[in-house]
Amino acid sequence: MDTVKKERDEYLAGWQRAKADLLNYKKETVEKTRVLKEMIKIEQVLECLPILDDLEMATSQLTAKQKKDSVIKGFLQISERFKKMLKAQGIEEVKTVGKKFDPALHEAIGEVKGEKSGVIIEEMQKGYIRDGVLIRAAKVKVGK
């Protein structure tokens, strides 16, 4: 009788461990899938950011008269839609000009002599963060 109870308890304990292992495996799989989906989203955004960079570069070169052209207005709307989409995804621009240089957020690609040391003078390429995590560092020129 004791042998049967002992055997039963061993089987029960083994089954309980196997069930706990399965539940842990399921939780890990769900979490890994979530992280993978987030990484894919970020990768897709990174692939699209150069398009937004180009639109912003072109926009910065327009005169007030050119901005009134209907075709140009269409491109400006595309740029604004893109920015709204990024914001909806929780993606924000990294603040740069006038801010103190932070190597965790900014990449210095040049120095400007005669300016306040350690302060960002010019932004060459926008940087982006999502939920406090850097997606792309801002490329900047820093005062020296």
Q: What is the CATH number for 129?
A: 2.30.22.10
Both 114 and 136 in a single domain? Answer: yes
Q: What is the CA radius of gyration of the chain?
A: 27
Both 79 and 104 in a single domain? Answer: no
In contact, 59 and 78? CB cutoff 8 Å: no
Q: How many percent of the chain have pLDDT more than 90?
A: 62
pLDDT of residue 31: 96
pLDDT of residue 115: 78
Instruction: Kindly report the average pLDDT of the chain as a whole number.
Output: 91
Does residue 88 surpass a pLDDT of 80? yes
Domain of residue 38, residue span: 1-89
Both 12 and 82 in a single domain? Answer: yes
Side-chain-side CA neighbours of residue 87 (13 Å)? 6
Please name which of 100, 84, 80 lies closest in space to residue 92, comparing C-alpha atoms. Answer: 84
Both 75 and 102 in a single domain? Answer: no
Q: How many percent of the chain have pLDDT more than 70?
A: 100
Total tally of structural domains belonging to the chain? 2
Residue with tokens 């495996």: 25
Instruction: Report the C-alpha gap between 127 and 109 in whole angstroms.
Output: 13
Both 104 and 50 in a single domain? Answer: no
In contact, 142 and 118? CB cutoff 8 Å: yes
Last residue of a domain, one of 89, 105, 126: 89
